[in-house]
Amino acid sequence: MKNIFIMGAFFNTDQQDINAYSYIADIFKTNFENINITQPIDIENYRNNFIKENPNADIQSVNKAMVDYDLHKIKQADLLFCDVSNKSTGVGIELGVAKENNINIVFCAKQNSKISNMVYGAFPDKTVYFYSCLEDLKNYIKSLKF
């Protein structure tokens, strides 16, 4: 079973982008067999469950539990699929963990995005696939070999 971790900083763009995680996960599920997908909603669900199970936990404990879970899931991944259309410190940290653990990374971004210099500098051997619309992104994902 392949573990795929889908990530990116969609939260600061329009609503269509927020829904892109589920869209991307569905593309992987439809076109590849024997995969397990982790996406941001899974991390958020973990956080919410942690709060329910630990109602007296302070915000630092909640956030630490969520980050620990997030980084654990990255370390389990065979492939990290990352949209780098928007700059994000959190995405940078996650990419660093993936690089440190030799996780295969695939980058994509919306056309005309200004990609962080850290992405290009830290991953000089990687290219960023620029997509014009979600249908274009779908065709790219379907073409992946991993």
pLDDT at 54: 98
- What does the pLDDT read at residue 40? 86
- Residue 50 near residue 62 (C-beta atoms within 8 A): yes
Q: What are phi and psi of 127, to 5 degrees?
A: -110, 155
SS3 13: coil
The total number of structural domains in the chain stands at 1
Q: Is the pLDDT of residue 14 over 80?
A: no
Residue 73 has φ and ψ, to the nearest 5°, of: -65, -35
pLDDT at residue 38, rounded to an integer: 95
What is the tens place of the pLDDT at every residue in 52-66?
999 999 999 999 999
Where do the DSSP E strands lie in the chain?
A: 2-8, 35-38, 79-83, 104-110, 128-131
Which of 9-13, 51-55, 121-125 is most confident?
A: 51-55
- At residue 12, the pLDDT reads 47
If pLDDT is split at 50, 70 and 90, which confidence band does 109 have? very high
pLDDT at 10: 59
The CATH number assigned to the domain holding 42 equals 3.40.50.450
pTM here is: 0.89
Q: Which domain holds residue 64?
A: 2-143
At a CB cut-off of 8 Å and minimum separation 6, what does 39 contact? 5, 6, 7, 21, 22, 24, 25
